Amino acid sequence: MGCTDIKRIDNSRLRIPRGYKPEMRTDGLIFVDSLLEQFLEQGAIEQVANVASLPGIVGMSLAMPDIHTGYGFSIGGVAAFDIDEGIISPGGVGYDINCGVRLLRSDLHKNDLLPRIKDLVEALYKEIPAGVGSKGRIKLSSADERGLLRKGAKWAVENGYGSAADLECIESGGCIDGADPELISDKAYERGRQQQATLGSGNHFLEIQYVDHVYDDAAASAMGLREGSITVMIHTGSRGFGHQVCTDYIQIMAKAAPKYHINLPDKELVCAPFKSSEARQYLSAMRAAANYAWANRQCLTHWTREVFMNYLSISPSALGMSLVYDVAHNIAKVEEHVINNKKKKVVVHRKGATRAFPPDHPELPDKYKKIGQPVLIPGDMGRLSFVMTGTQQAMDETFGSTCHGAGRLLSRHEAIRRAKGRAIWREMQDRGVIVKSTGRETLAEEMPEAYKDISEVVNVVHNADISKKVASLKPIGVVKG
């Protein structure tokens, strides 16, 4: 009827019109089909609308099909703001700054590994520190840590963790410029010093998988993926370090919003004008946390290769474990996008969303110029994960972004309640997945039924053409926090 009703545009898109809430400056757009629409939370819709009311928003307030309610901004949200008139908001990035995923391919076949998978998972579990508050194997001095914050994965490679070739296959080369170690609190330094090169907890994991199905031969071949070949996926972020940075800057920005007369529909949306000193400081600290996460995934990669080589008694070349790609799922970046036929710099917030740049984009390494940026989308530990590629449609419609995962279906609490009296590890084993975790509660929170079906989520973004399916990956061994 009126211009205040949510309206389905097509099979993949739902519009939240500007009139839905009086303070909205632009429309909201949620990528969901009618199947996933039934799981759409009212709170998440409100959050998309709230983000649409922030100053300087460019284009629409967007959300991906894995949307759910988060801190201020929904998880699965994408929003871009004008450099001159817009804002930056820590809630638009989230607490786990540069939580992200990397995928390693190998020359192993699943048949090489299946008979010995249990011991291999045990071996990985022994070498990869995991769990809440777990401490790392690397002893960092404060000076080391400052270098790491500036250099990210480059620091890891310089210190013997992996090779220079790895860096080419990481978003932003695994090192984002403009990180400032001076803007980090002592508390963050202390947490970060102990936790570098650890997996963490919750939905973070290290997973041994095999390529289940190839949808796009050319793209899969460019990534070195063949049906049956073994891959490893690592999902982790900036641990307590990024959490502390977010906490510190939410406090700082709580004062900034009233100072700059920004009207907030929800106080969790605390932000500051992009050009303000508070915003510049947050951006520099956030970049340090992003680099921390890239170093983290790089160090864990090194140990993963070591465990595989030692366990199988094979050489690096026989293993062939190279990095396919590494993406950030929680980050704010200054990027150039075409808006109304004009190139414009904007600050893109991706919170539970993946960059999905198209073929020929200058930020892509040569080997992916033809196919577009690899997009890595982890599912739950029982079903599948997906590899996709970025598209021009994403560039035109979503600031070069797509979904990031399955999205929770049950709250952690509800999942634990439903898992009472069950042995999730055994249920997983019966499904052909060997799982090793620090605690049974983590397994309960992370059991497959706690998540939406990743295949349904991926179908929406594939059909909307904001990324294209390349391959599905089936888990066979999982290390969890």
Partner DNA sequence: ATGTAC
**Position among 105, 151, 239, 436 found at the interface with DNA (CB under 7 A):** 239
Torsion-angle region of 411 (φ positive above 0: left; ψ -120 to 50: alpha; else: beta): beta
The CB-of-408 to DNA minimum distance in angstroms stands at 7
Ordered DSSP codes for 60-104: EEEEEEEEE--SSSPEEEEEEEETTT-EE-GGGT-SSTT-EEEEE
Task: Say which residue the tokens 């993949």 belong to.
Answer: 12
Do 468 and 33 meet the contact criterion of CB atoms below 8 Å apart?
no
Q: Under the criterion CB under 7 A, does residue 187 sit at the interface with DNA?
A: yes
Give the position of tokens 């094979």. Answer: 314
| Interface with DNA, residue 237, by CB under 7 A | yes
Q: Which stretches does DSSP call E strand in 143-240?
A: 205-214, 229-236
CB of 133 to DNA, least distance (A): 4
- Give SS3 for 12: coil
Nearest to 318 by CA among 327, 333, 305, 329: 305
Interface of this chain with DNA, residues 123 to 142, rule: CB under 7 A = 132-133
Q: By C-beta, is 96 or 453 nearer to DNA?
A: 96
List 243, 302, 349, 404, catalytic entry: 404
Token representation of residue 67: 């949307």
Q: Which is nearer to DNA, 65 or 136 (CB)?
A: 136
Residue 105 is a binding residue for DNA (CB under 7 A): no
Task: Out of 106, 195, 209, 393, point to the residue binding DNA (CB under 7 A).
Answer: 195
Among 53, 106, 196, 203, binds DNA (CB under 7 A): 203
Stretch that binds DNA, among 109-117, 189-197, 313-321, 364-372 (CB under 7 A): 189-197
From CA 455, how far away is CA 432, in angstroms rounded?
19
Token pair 């052909």 is found at 432
User: Can residue 393 be called a binding residue for DNA (CB under 7 A)?
Assistant: no
Candidate residues 68, 193, 204, 452; the one interacting with DNA per rule CB under 7 A: 204
Work out the angle between the directed axes of helices 142-151 and 186-195 (0-180°, nearest 10).
90
Mark out the alpha helices in 373-450 (DSSP H runs): 392-397, 412-418, 424-430, 440-446
On whether the CB atoms of residues 245 and 286 are closer than 8 A, the answer is yes
CA dist 396 to 59, 338, 340, Å?
A: 10, 8, 10
State yes or no: is 404 an active-site residue.
yes
From the list 30-38, 105-113, 201-209, 331-339, the region that binds DNA by CB under 7 A is: 201-209
Residue 397 or 445: which CB sits closer to DNA? 445
Stretch of residues binding DNA (CB under 7 A), selected from 92-100, 174-182, 282-290, 312-320? 92-100
69 binds DNA (CB under 7 A): no
Q: Given the complex with DNA, which of 167 and 299 has the nearer CB atom?
A: 299
Largest interatomic CA distance in the chain: 68
The stretches of 399-451 forming alpha helices (DSSP H) are 412-418, 424-430, 440-446
d(CA 51, CA 76): 13
Nearer to DNA, 204 or 469 (CB): 204
Residues 255-274 that bind DNA (CB under 7 A): none
| In the complex, least distance from residue 64 CB atom to DNA, rounded to whole angstroms | 16
Residue closest to 219 by CA, chosen among 471, 458, 395, 473: 471
Among 73, 95, 274, 357, binds DNA (CB under 7 A): 95
- The one segment of 6-14, 48-56, 121-129, 186-194 that binds DNA by CB under 7 A: 186-194
How far is the CA of 121 from the CAs of 74, 102, 112, 165, 395, in angstroms? 34, 18, 14, 26, 39
Nearer to DNA, 18 or 191 (CB): 191
Spatial separation of the C-alpha atoms in residues 110 and 124, rounded to whole Å:
17
Q: What is the DSSP letter of 357?
A: P
Among 64, 99, 279, 285, binds DNA (CB under 7 A): 99
With H, G, I as helix, E, B as strand and everything else as coil, classify residue 32: coil
Q: Judged by CB under 7 A, which of 66, 96, 145, 216 binds DNA?
A: 96
Count of residues engaged in binding DNA, rule: CB under 7 A: 22
| Residue entry with tokens 């709230």 | 50
Could you say whether residue 243 binds DNA (CB under 7 A)?
yes
399 or 451: CB nearest DNA: 451
| Options 74, 106, 231, 244; binder of DNA; rule CB under 7 A | 244
Query: Residue ranges of the alpha helices (H) in 210-238?
Result: 217-222
Q: Which range of residues in 234-242, 307-315, 343-351, 386-394 is near DNA by CB under 7 A?
A: 234-242
Show contacts with DNA in window 444-473 (CB under 7 A): 446
Q: Which residues are catalytic?
A: 404
Binding residues vs DNA (CB under 7 A): 95-96, 99, 132-133, 187, 190-191, 195, 200-204, 236-237, 239-240, 243-244, 446, 481
